[in-house]
Amino acid sequence: MFDFVLDGSSGTARAGTLTLPHGVVETPCFMPVGTRGAVRGLHPAEVERAGAQIILGNTYHLHLRPGEATVAAMGGLHRFSTWPRPMLTDSGGFQVFSLSAMRKLDEDGVDFVSHIDGSRRRLTAERAIEIQWQLGADIAMAFDHLAPGQSPRDQTTDAMQRTLRWLARSRRRHDELSAGHPERQTLWPIVQGGVYHDLRRASLDGILSEADWTGIAIGGLSVGESKPAMYAVLDELGPALPADRPRYLMGVGFPEDLVEGIARGVDLFDCVAATRNGRHASAWTADGKLNARGAGRQLEEGPVEDGCDCECCTRFSRAYVRHLFVAEEQLGQRLVSIHNIRFLIRLAETARARILDHNFTAWAAEWRARYFAKGLVR
């Protein structure tokens, strides 16, 4: 039920098929983020029509609202949200990072002060796993501690080693819960270690000695370090990762990061930028970023991106999309979110086709040249 088959490769880039309880995911693949059980602003049908094969949910946010008991009582996250395809839940580890101002960390876990009502919420490896089990996504993530990208070595080491200790506990609890239901959910570990290659390697060694995982995530990137540093970690880690397991680069990325990540053997990506930037009127195109509410678009007949097959571009003009943003109509945010999601998914689909053609490297070179030629679309 948790199967990964390599369909082909081109250099270090890979194409595969990941089989999960709720369906099949062809990789490389971009996974839209639906933190609170919805891809922000979008109808599940729109997410499906954008080509999404799998989406995320978040342990911390769904624990706060509506609470995992409610989700479980409503039949789990799939049924509750009516998303029929695979899902993955993040463990709340990212909130240890993003909500660092309102949490206290100790060896056993993390105390959060809810940003919603100020109540105290404690997350431990075991709790994060229990909540995810109740949410019922196909893939659960281990509870991890990621250090900011600029962290000194000692702090990064500390976070990486704690993540390994938490991993052992996450795995144990998940084994207990899934004992009678082995087909329900799988657990993936997260490689930490910041930009320090030896720490990354130590993290991976620890992970591989812990269990035979069905997939492995790389976390703690795109959190403040430079892009070359991020790509260097992927270069370093790639050959050491089990070839027959999917690799998930967490929280990444921008279009160029997908191309660079795929080139380095990454199979799965997720990122909030598609929807957040979409809400902020920033659209991705093959020629770079476009300000969808830019003053120059008032009379532009063409689509946000020429040739795009998304629900925004096949129907609406740039002039209309700009108008929606200026008038603060929600449809504008929704349309560009759809476009951006479709853009990344199409990018991954194209990459997959080129990998299967054994033509990925040349395609990636052309893609980079075009994407960065203008910088911003004027």
Partner RNA sequence: GGUGGGGUGGCCGAGUGGCUAAUGGCAGCAGACUGUAAAUCUGCCGAGCUUCGCUCUACGUAGGUUCGAAUCCUACCCCCACCA
Least Å distance, CB 222 to RNA, is 3
Considering the rule CB under 7 A, would residue 90 count as an interface residue with RNA? Answer: yes
Contacting RNA (CB under 7 A), which of 45, 101, 299, 369? Answer: 101
Q: Toward RNA, which CB reaches closer, 61 or 201? A: 61
- Quick one: CA dihedral 325, 350, 29, 24, positive or negative? positive
108 is catalytic: no
Q: Which stretch binds RNA (CB under 7 A): 132-140, 173-181, 248-256, 354-362?
A: 248-256
Q: What are 25's strand-pairing partners?
A: 18
Query: Which C-beta is closer to RNA: that of 16 or that of 219?
Result: 219
Q: Give the binding range for RNA (CB under 7 A) out of 17-25, 92-100, 165-173, 306-314.
A: 92-100
- Residues ≥6 apart with Cβ < 8 Å to 68: 62, 130, 131, 134, 135
Under the binding rule (CB under 7 A), the answer on residue 373 touching RNA is no
Task: Report if residue 97 touches RNA, rule: CB under 7 A.
Answer: yes
Among candidate residues 205, 270, 287, 357, the one labeled active-site is 270
299 lines the binding site for RNA (CB under 7 A): no
Is residue 253 involved in binding RNA (CB under 7 A)?
yes
Among 132, 170, 203, 222, binds RNA (CB under 7 A): 222
Work out which of 12, 291, 317, 361 binds RNA, going by CB under 7 A: 291
Q: Any contact of residue 332 with RNA (CB under 7 A)? A: no
Residue of 15, 202, 223, 347 interacting with RNA (CB under 7 A) = 223
Min dist CB 359 to RNA, Å, is 25
Q: Which stretch binds RNA (CB under 7 A): 9-17, 90-98, 179-187, 356-364?
A: 90-98
Establish whether 270 is a catalytic residue.
yes
Q: Supply the residues annotated as catalytic.
A: 90, 270
Q: Which residues bind RNA (CB under 7 A)?
A: 33, 35, 39-40, 56, 58, 61, 90-91, 93-95, 97-99, 101-102, 115, 141, 144, 146, 190, 217, 219-220, 222-223, 227, 250-254, 257, 270-273, 275-277, 279-282, 289, 291, 293-296, 326, 328, 330, 333, 376
